[in-house]
Structure 1
Amino acid sequence: MLSNWSLNVYPRALPISTRHRKIAKRIISLERKMSQLSAEELQNYVCDIRNKIDCEPKKAKDFLVEGFALVREASWRIVEMRHYEVQILAGICLFEGAFVEMATGEGKTLTATLPVFMWALSGKGVHVHTTNSYLAERDFELMSPVYEFLGMSCGLLCQGDTPVIKKKSYDCDITYGVGSEYGFDYMRDQLAILNTAKPKLGKTFMASMYGYKPRKVFKMQRDLAFALIDEVDSVLLDEARSPLVISGAKGGVDPNAHIYKSANSIATSLVLDEDFILNKSKRSIDILECAKQKIYEIAPPKGLVAPWSFYIRQALSAHHFFQKNVHYMVDEGKIVIVDEYTGRRFAERTWRDGLHQAIEAKEKITITEASKSAARITRQRYFSFYERIAGMTGTAQGSEKEIWKFYRAPVIKIPPRKKIQRIELRDKVFGTLEAKWCAVEQKICELYKCKQPVLVGTRTIESSEKLALRLQKLGLNPQVLNAKQDAEEAKIISSAGQVGAITIATNMAGRGTDVHLGDGVEKLGGLFVLGTERHESRRVDNQLIGRCGRQGNVGIAQFFISFADDLIVQHLPKITDKFGDKNELPSHYTRIFTKLQNQLEAMHFEQRKQMYHFDTWVEEVLHMMG
C-alpha cells in the first residue's frame, strides 16, 4: 500500500545504465548465429526455452539474451524489420517493469515484441494495451505473424465480440486490445462471479473484487499476469481521473422523458448572472434565489426521483458546459461522446446522473432511459492486479513523481537512434480568435505556395470543420481527420506527409500515428506541424509536436494560440476580457499558458490521488468486514 505522498522521494527520469548496454551488445552479437538457423531450428530453440521456463518460471530473465535475439531474427524474416540497439535497450527496461520514454517515431510497436515474447514464454498470457481500436488492429496485424512464427498464439479483442469469442482471444499467449476493454471485461467477469456468489456476501461488486473465491463460473480472462501499455501516460494519467464504469441494460425510450424536456425548457429561459452563476473552471452552477420563482412558476412534473432543481442544474450544464462537435456529436439520432484527450468517439459510453438525457433534450432527439452503474473500478486499482506492468510513451518526463507513487515504476529515457532535427518555433500569441485564425490561414497559404506539407492540430471537431471551410473559401482543399472520419484515418494519415498536403486533425493524429514523408519533402523542410490551441495537459501538445521530426527527419512545429481559446476562457476568463481588443502579442505571454497548464496538471494529480485513497479505504473496510 502506498502511503507516502511526499514530493521529495521519487526517482527522476533515469538514463540507460551500463548494464543495459552490455546486455544489448550481447543480443546483437547473436545476430549472425540466429541468421544461420533454419525456421524449424528457430522454432525448436523457442520450444526448448519455453520448456525450461515452465520448470522454473523465475528463470525467464536468464534467457533474455537468447529470447531477444530470436525475436530480432523472426522480425527480420517475417516483416523485414530488425530491432535497433535503442529498441533493444527499451525492450530490456520494459521486461524489467519500467516505463520507458522513447521519442516519437522510434518504433514502439516493434520494440514491444521483445518484452511481450519473453513474458509470453511463461504461458500465463500477456495483454498489450493500446489507446484505441485502430492502433490495436494495426499492431495486431503487423506483429501477430512474428509471434506465430515463433510458436505463440495471438488474439485481438474487438468491441462487440461475444464473451465466447473474447475468451478465445484471452486464452492466447498474447492478446491485443484497447486498454479500457480489458478493464470492462474484468468487471464483467466479476459480475458473473457475483451472480453465483452466496447471499451472505452481500451482492456488491466490491465484495467479489477483494478476496472472495466462488465456485467455478464462465470467465473470459485468466488471472492477470503481464500488461504492456502503449501511450502509458495517456492511459494511466490523463484518463485515470475517470473510473471505468459498467452500466446496467437500458430499456429504450425513457418513460420520464417529459421531465428532461421541461427542465430543458426552463433552463433556456434562465439568464446567466441574473438567475444563475457559472464557475467554468470547477464546472459548477449556482442557481440564485431570484430564479426560484421562474423554476416553480408551474408545478414540477410527476415522476421526479431527485429535487426539481437538480434537473434544472443538469439542463444548464448541458447548455453551458457541453458543446456539440466539441464534447459530443450527434450521429444517427444518438449522442456520441468524444474523448477530449484522443479526439475519438466513445459510441458505447453515456454520461451519468441524467446528464446524458439532458443533452438529448437539448438536441431535441429521443431521450433514452438512464442506465444504472453496475460496476466501477479505477485504472489505478485495475492495474494493481497484474503481476507486472510496463509502459511506453513519447511524453513521460515530468510525470515521474506520479508514476513512481502510483505504480512504483521508474521512468527511463531512451536516447533516439538519430539526432532529433525538429525545429520548435516560439508560439504566436493573439488577443482574439479571429486574429489567430487569420494568422493560421496566412501561414497555411505560405506553406502551400512552397508545397511544404502541413498538419494542423485542432482541439475540437467544430474547430477542424470551421478551419476547413475557411480554407476552402480560399481555394484550398484540406483533408479533415476527426471523429466523423475515423473510418478513413489510415488513408488520411498516409497522405499527410506528401508534397503540398494540408491535413486538419483533432487529437486523433496526436498519438500512435505515423506520418511518412513523400519524395522531396525533406528539401522543403519536412512536415510543418501547426497547433491551434494549447491543451490542459502539456503531454497532449507534445504528442502533436512529435508528429514531425521523426527518426532523424527534419520538421518544424509551432503553436498559434489566443486569449480567447477554451483553455483561458474556462479557467482565466478575466484575462480573456483584458486582451479582447488585441491582435498579435509578444511571445513572452506564452508564460501565462504554461503556468496555467502546470496548475491544472497539479490539480488533476490531486484528483487521481483522491481516487486512489478512496480505493484503498474501500479495500480496508471490506477486509475489516470479511
Structure 2
Amino acid sequence: MSTVAFDIVRPGLRHGHRPERRQRRADSALEARLRSLIARPWRFDDFAPILAEIERASMVEEDRIAVLRERLSRDGFERDVLVALFGTLVQAVRRHCGFELHPEQLFAGWAMLHRSLVEMQTGEGKSVTACLPAIAAALAGMPVHVISVNDYLVTRDSEAFKALYAHFGLSVRAVVEGMDEEARRDAYAADVVYCTNKQLAFDYLRDRCRRGNGGRARPGSLGECLSSLTGSETGMPLLRGLCFAVVDEADSVLIDDASTPLVLAEARGAERQAATEASVALGIARALVQNRHFMLRRDISQVVLTDTGEDSVRRLTERLDGVWRFERYRMERVRQALAALHLYRRDRHYLVQAGKVLLVDESTGRAMPERRLQHGLHLMLEIKERAESGDDHDVIDAISFQDFFNRYHALSGMSGTLREAAVELADIYALQVVSVPTHLPARLDVLPASFHATRREQLAAAMSLVEERHARGQPVLIGTRSVAFSEEVSRCLATCDLDHSVLNARQDADEAGVIAMAGAPGAITVATGMAGRGTDIRIGPKAEALGGLHVLNLELNASIRVDRQLFGRAARQGRPGSGQSVLCLEDEMLRDHLSAPLRALLVRASGALPRVTARLAGLATGLVRRHVAARERTRRRDLRDLRERGQRLLTFGMELD
C-alpha cells in the first residue's frame, strides 16, 4: 500500500519548460513493476481514519483555498494538507454541484493521488471523482490533463464542473476535434484540460516536431532549454509538459489502445502514379481466388499468398515495367490490395460519406475523419469504393499510447472494468489497481445468454425479447459492434413497427439528444460502442418502477470488459436494471477464432436445453476471448521490451518511436 503521493512536477527551471519523464532503464522499469505487483493495494477499510479526519475538516467554515495552494506548492501532498483540501472539496461540491460526495468517492480520489488506478463500478460518479485529484494537482501548480475516450464526454464534463474548478481559482478548458492551433494553445494554457487520448497524443507529436534536432530534443534537456531561449523552435508549443494525467476509462486507453500506432503525417498531394499503381494492384488482387491463391488470417488481420498465388502474381505482372519488376514490391502491393478487398469491410472498419472514406474507431464506434491508413492502403479503399481520393501522406513522427503515457511524471485513472487488466497495468505502467466498493448495493440482473445457429434466428429471438420489454414500457438499449449490424437491427425493428433511435458513426448528429431519451419509458435505442463507456442514460421514476433499462447485447466483444461496460449502462447508482446477451454462431469473432469442427458442434447443440446452450456459449466465448487477449498481451509486451532495449519497432508498416 503506497502511503506516499507522487512528487510535484511543474514547468520551471528545475524540471524544464515542458516536463516529461525520461524513459526508464530496463532495470529500473523492472524494479518499479515488481514493486507495484508486490505491494498491497489500498483498501477501503484502510481509509477509515483518514475519512473521519476529512469529515471533521468539512465542518470548518472558512476560506482556506489560498493557504492550501501555498502549502501544496511548498510542501507537496502532505497528509494534513490533503485532509484539509478534501474537506474543502466536500463543501465545494455540495455548493456548486448540489449533491454530497460519498465516502467511496473520497477514497477513490485519495487513492489516485497515491500512485493508483481505481476501479469504480459504472454509475458511481467517476466524473466528479476525477475532479478531486485534478484540483489537488492543479493547486500545486501542475498542468493537469483529464483524459476521456470521446469529445462528447470531454465537452460534457468540462462544462459540468466549470463552477467547481472556478471555486478554487482554477481555469478549465476542453480540447476537441476541429479546433485550430491557436485555440488549442489557449486551451492547454488552462490549469486543467479535458481532452481525448488521441487529441492529446497527436498534439504532443506536433510539439515534438517543433523542437530542434529534428524534433528529438528531450524536454527539460539543455538542448530544449537553449531552443526555447534562442527561439530556434519553429513555433510555440501547444502543451506545457506531461506532468499529471487522470485517465477515465483507463483500461480502454492504457490497455486496449496501448499498441495503437499514432502517426503524424504530412500531405504531399495525390499522385497520378500512386493511383495507377493502386488500381493495378487491385486489378491483380481481384483475379486471385481465396484458399487457392491466398489465405485470409482474420485472427491476426493478415493476408498470406500461397505458392500458387505468388506464381500467378508473377505471371500477371510479367509484362509490367517499373516498380512491378521488383519481387518484394509487387508481392507486398498485391497483399495490400487483397487486404483492402477482403479484410477492410465497409460499415465496419470504414464508412463512405459525402464521397469520402472515413475510418471507424472500433472501440468507440466513432468516425475518424482526420485519420488515414498509410502506405497507399487508404487510397486503395478509395479506389475500391469509387470515392474521392485524398492526399497521400508522408510519415513525420509516430508514437504508441503505451510509450506516450509512460512519459507522464504522474499517472492515475479509473474505470469500471480494471480488475481483469490489473496484472498488465502493473507490468506496463507500474500502477496498482484499487477496488472501490459501491455506495449502494448493485441491482443489475444479468440474465443467461441465449445462443443461436444463424443470424436470422438470432434476430427473431432479439425482436421477440424487445417486443416483450417494450410492451411493458421498459426502455431497451441494443448494443452492436458495427454500423452495418446496427442498421440491420434497425430494419428488423422497423419491420416489427417498433419506433426506435439509432446511434452510430453514420447517425451521430444528435448524440446528446438520443442518449437523453434512451431511458424514457418504452424507448428503444440501437447503438454501437458510442453508447458504451462513460454514457450516462438517465431513467425516471416510471421507467425505474418497470425494471429500469434493459440492455441487449447482440455481438460478442473481444474482451469481457466491453460487455461489462455495455451492461453498466443499466442499474446505475443503486437503481434496477437488467442485461442479456443474444449471440449467434455466425458472429465474426466466433467464426474467425473457432475451428470448423467446434463451430459444427455448437450448431448441433443450438437446439439443446437453454441451460446447456448457455454453458456451451460461455465456453466458446471464453475460448475466443482468451485467444485474442493472449495475442494482444504478447504484442504489448513486445512493444515494451523493444522500447526498453532502445530499439525501434515496425507495426502496420509504420515506425514507432
| TM > 0.5 | yes
| Cross-structure match for 1:436 | 458
C-alpha distance in 1 between matches for 2:586 and 2:33: 37
Change (3 A) 1:347 1:129: same
| Cross-structure match for 1:595 | 623
Aligned with 1:152 (options 143, 153, 170): 170
Pairwise CA RMSD: 2.4
Contact 1:101 1:411 in 2 (8 A): yes
| Cross-structure match for 2:638 | 610
Change (3 A) 1:301 1:417: farther
Shift of 1:293: 5.8
| Cross-structure match for 2:242 | 224
Residues 409-459 of structure 1: CA distance to partner in whole angstroms, max 9, x if unpaired? Answer: 110100001000111111111122221111111111111111111111011
Contact 2:469 2:476 in 1 (8 A): yes
C-alpha distance in 2 between matches for 1:598 and 1:581: 24
C-alpha distance in 2 between matches for 1:390 and 1:227: 6
Shift of 1:151: 0.6
Residues 519-546 of structure 1: CA distance to partner in whole angstroms, max 9, x if unpaired? Answer: 3112221111110011111111110011
Contact 2:33 2:429 in 1 (8 A): no
C-alpha distance in 2 between matches for 1:13 and 1:422: 30
C-alpha distance in 1 between matches for 2:602 and 2:529: 27
| Cross-structure match for 2:37 | 10
2:320 counterpart SS class: coil
C-alpha distance in 1 between matches for 2:40 and 2:106: 18
| Cross-structure match for 2:20 | none
Change (3 A) 1:246 1:437: same
| Cross-structure match for 1:285 | 303
Contact 2:266 2:396 in 1 (8 A): yes
C-alpha distance in 2 between matches for 1:384 and 1:293: 46
C-alpha distance in 2 between matches for 1:17 and 1:175: 29
| Cross-structure match for 1:55 | 74
- The answer to whether residue 474 in structure 2 is matched with residue 462 in structure 1 is no
Aligned with 2:60 (options 29, 33, 56): 33
1:605 counterpart SS class: helix
Contact 1:248 1:373 in 2 (8 A): yes
- The answer to whether residue 199 in structure 2 is matched with residue 181 in structure 1 is yes
- The answer to whether residue 320 in structure 2 is matched with residue 300 in structure 1 is yes
Change (3 A) 1:254 1:518: farther
Change (3 A) 1:428 1:390: same
Change (3 A) 1:287 1:59: closer
Select between 62-71 and 570-579 the one with higher mean Cα deviation: 570-579
| Cross-structure match for 1:273 | 291
Shift of 1:404: 0.8
Matches within 5 A, 1:60-79: 60-79=78-97
Shift of 1:163: 2.9
Change (3 A) 1:499 1:86: same
Q: Which amino acid aligns with 1:572?
A: L
What's the TM-score, normalizing by structure 2?
0.87
C-alpha distance in 1 between matches for 2:272 and 2:438: 55
1:364 counterpart SS class: coil
Residues 547-589 of structure 1: CA distance to partner in whole angstroms, max 9, x if unpaired? Answer: 1111111111110112210111121251345545775451111
Contact 1:144 1:154 in 2 (8 A): yes
Q: Which runs of 5+ in 1 are unaligned?
A: 198-202, 622-626
Aligned with 1:397 (options 399, 406, 419): 419
C-alpha distance in 2 between matches for 1:55 and 1:30: 21
Shift of 1:249: 2.5
| Cross-structure match for 2:4 | none
C-alpha distance in 2 between matches for 1:415 and 1:515: 22
Q: Which amino acid aligns with 1:28?
A: E
Shift of 1:156: 1.4
Q: Which runs of 5+ in 2 are unaligned?
A: 1-25, 650-657
Q: Which amino acid aligns with 1:141?
A: E
| Cross-structure match for 2:565 | 543
Matches within 5 A, 1:64-463: 64-193=82-211, 196-197=212-213, 203=214, 205=215, 208=218, 212-213=223-224, 214-216=226-228, 217=233, 218-252=236-270, 255-292=273-310, 294-295=312-313, 296-297=315-316, 299-300=319-320, 302=322, 307-463=329-485
Residues 491-531 of structure 1: CA distance to partner in whole angstroms, max 9, x if unpaired? Answer: 11111111111111111111000111123112221111110
Contact 1:12 1:400 in 2 (8 A): no
Shift of 1:372: 2.1
Q: Which amino acid aligns with 2:423?
A: K
Contact 1:91 1:111 in 2 (8 A): yes
Q: Which amino acid aligns with 1:568?
A: L
Change (3 A) 1:59 1:457: closer
Shift of 1:269: 2.4
Q: Which amino acid aligns with 1:173?
A: D
Contact 1:155 1:169 in 2 (8 A): yes
- The alignment of Structure 1 onto Structure 2 pairs a total of residues equal to 604
C-alpha distance in 1 between matches for 2:353 and 2:585: 32
Shift of 1:618: 2.1
| Cross-structure match for 1:561 | 583
Change (3 A) 1:556 1:59: closer
C-alpha distance in 2 between matches for 1:582 and 1:436: 15
| Cross-structure match for 1:200 | none
Contact 2:117 2:434 in 1 (8 A): yes
Shift of 1:302: 4.8
C-alpha distance in 2 between matches for 1:454 and 1:142: 27
C-alpha distance in 1 between matches for 2:143 and 2:311: 62
C-alpha distance in 1 between matches for 2:647 and 2:98: 49
C-alpha distance in 2 between matches for 1:554 and 1:151: 39
Shift of 1:297: 3.1
C-alpha distance in 2 between matches for 1:577 and 1:13: 46
Q: Which amino acid aligns with 2:73?
A: D
| Cross-structure match for 1:482 | 504
C-alpha distance in 1 between matches for 2:262 and 2:154: 19
Contact 1:126 1:174 in 2 (8 A): yes
1:521 counterpart SS class: helix
Contact 1:13 1:413 in 2 (8 A): no
1:377 counterpart SS class: strand
Shift of 1:180: 1.8
C-alpha distance in 2 between matches for 1:318 and 1:179: 27
Contact 2:352 2:387 in 1 (8 A): no
Shift of 1:374: 1.0
C-alpha distance in 1 between matches for 2:463 and 2:180: 48
C-alpha distance in 1 between matches for 2:457 and 2:518: 26
| Cross-structure match for 1:624 | none
Shift of 1:210: 10
Shift of 1:62: 3.3
C-alpha distance in 2 between matches for 1:292 and 1:520: 65
1:398 counterpart SS class: helix
| Cross-structure match for 1:46 | 65
Residues 53-77 of structure 1: CA distance to partner in whole angstroms, max 9, x if unpaired? Answer: 3333x35543111111222222222
Matches within 5 A, 1:493-532: 493-532=515-554
C-alpha distance in 2 between matches for 1:128 and 1:137: 12
C-alpha distance in 1 between matches for 2:30 and 2:109: 30
Q: Which amino acid aligns with 1:287?
A: L
Contact 2:267 2:392 in 1 (8 A): no
